[in-house]
Each structure stands twice: as structure tokens, then as C-alpha cells.
């Protein structure tokens, strides 16, 4: 099941710099592991913002919830989720996504 997810991040400015660096490093590693697994299908930066638009291929709502909840930066995020369905006119969808 595909989901479009917008994530806006607001890390407190007074957060200890070492804690911040650790959070950001763990977030990057988690994100890249999910990309390698084919779960985090796309990620795009929102220019000029600490935010991104991403596409996830999760089994269901609960699976996506678990994935997002485990983001190291989750406590500092505002997240908006939109479930997606294939469009019958989309030639680019191909067979690379789970049905």
C-alpha cells in the first residue's frame, strides 16, 4: 500500500548539539535502511524548509504507523499522511511496487 507522507521537522534550538547530531545520524541510517528494503520508495527535500515529501510502500496503516513511530526524529515532526492508489493512466508505475 502506497502512502505520500510530508514530514516537517522542528528540533528545539536548545537541544544539546551531541544529542542532535546523534538523532540526525540515526535518522539517516534508518531512512537509508528503509530505502534499501524498498519500503521508503522516494524522498524529496522541500526547498528552504526542514521538511520532506516521501512515498512509502507499507503493508497497511499499522505498518506505516510503526515505521513512522520508529523515526528517531519522530518526536520533533509534524506528519501528514495521504494513502495512495494507482492511477489507471500511469505508465510509470510498472511492476516495481508491491501490489
> What does the pLDDT average to over 83-94?
82
Which pLDDT score, from 0 to 100, does residue 95 have?
55
Q: What is the pLDDT of residue 87?
A: 84
Q: What was the pLDDT predicted at 84?
A: 95
CA dist 77 and 5 (Å) reads: 12
> Cβ(77)–Cβ(7) under 8 Å?
yes
Model confidence pLDDT, tens digit, residues 59-82: 999 999 999 999 999 999 999 999
Nearest of 10, 37, 38, 36 to residue 23 by alpha carbon:
10
Q: Going from the N-terminus, what domains does the chain have, and what CATH number goes with each?
A: 2-84 (3.30.70.1060)
What's the pTM?
0.86
What is the per-residue pLDDT across 18-67, written as a single tens digit (0 to 9) for each? 999 999 999 999 999 999 999 999 999 999 999 999 999 999 999 999 99
Angle at CA 34, nearest 5°, toward 30 and 36?
Answer: 115
Q: How far apart are CA 58 and CA 38, in angstroms?
A: 9
Q: Yes or no: say if 98 and 57 are a contact pair by the CB < 8 Å rule.
A: yes
Amino acid at each position: 500500500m502506497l502512502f505520500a507522507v510530508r514530514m516537517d521537522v522542528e528540533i528545539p534550538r536548545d537541544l544539546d548539539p551531541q544529542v542532535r547530531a546523534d538523532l540526525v545520524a540515526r535518522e539517516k541510517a534508518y531512512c537509508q535502511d528503509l530505502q534499501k528494503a524498498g519500503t521508503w520508495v522516494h524522498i524529496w527535500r522541500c526547498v528552504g524548509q526542514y521538511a520532506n515529501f516521501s512515498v512509502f510502500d507499507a503493508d497497511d496503516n499499522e505498518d506505516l504507523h510503526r515505521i513512522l513511530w520508529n523515526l528517531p526524529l519522530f518526536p520533533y515532526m509534524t506528519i501528514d499522511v495521504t494513502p495512495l492508489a494507482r492511477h489507471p493512466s500511469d505508465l510509470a508505475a510498472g511492476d516495481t511496487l508491491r501490489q
